[in-house]
């Protein structure tokens, strides 16, 4: 489960987020390209290659797409907290 205390500061406000690579809990983004490679309409990479959410989903289809990225993240660096 992604650490909500280690959200990447570049995430836009909303339910989905990516964690900072420096997450002390060991669930930080490893810049694997999985989320921003598969769903660039929601996820992007910063200069270091770490993922962040640049646009929150609005439709049920969008939410399912973001949830799929969360489910497939190899290090649990994507979270959903309902904010």
Total domains in the chain come to 1
* Predicted confidence (pLDDT) per residue in 26-60, tens digit: 779 999 999 999 999 999 999 989 999 999 999 99
Question: Does the pLDDT of residue 1 top 90, yes or no?
Answer: no
* Predicted confidence (pLDDT) per residue in 62-73, tens digit: 999 999 999 999
Provide the pLDDT for residue 83: 58
What is the residue range of 52's domain?
4-80
- Residue 64: give its domain's CATH number: 3.30.70.20
CA dist 60 and 35 (Å) reads 18
Provide the pLDDT for residue 82: 64
Rg (alpha carbons) of the chain, rounded to whole number: 11
Work out the burial of residue 31: count CB atoms within 10 Å of its CB; fewer than 13 is exposed, 13-18 middle, 19 or more buried: middle
* Predicted confidence (pLDDT) per residue in 2-34, tens digit: 999 999 999 999 999 999 998 877 779 999 999
| 60 half-sphere exposure, CB direction, 13 A CA radius | 0
């Amino acid at each position: 489960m992604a650490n909500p205390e280690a959200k990447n500061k570049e995430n836009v406000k909303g339910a989905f987020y990516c964690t900072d690579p420096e997450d002390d809990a060991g669930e930080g983004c490893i810049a694997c390209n999985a989320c921003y490679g598969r769903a660039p309409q929601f996820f992007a990479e910063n200069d270091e290659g770490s993922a962040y959410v640049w646009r929150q989903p609005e439709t049920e289809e969008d939410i399912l797409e973001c949830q799929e990225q969360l489910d497939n993240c190899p290090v649990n660096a994507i979270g959903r907290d309902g904010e």
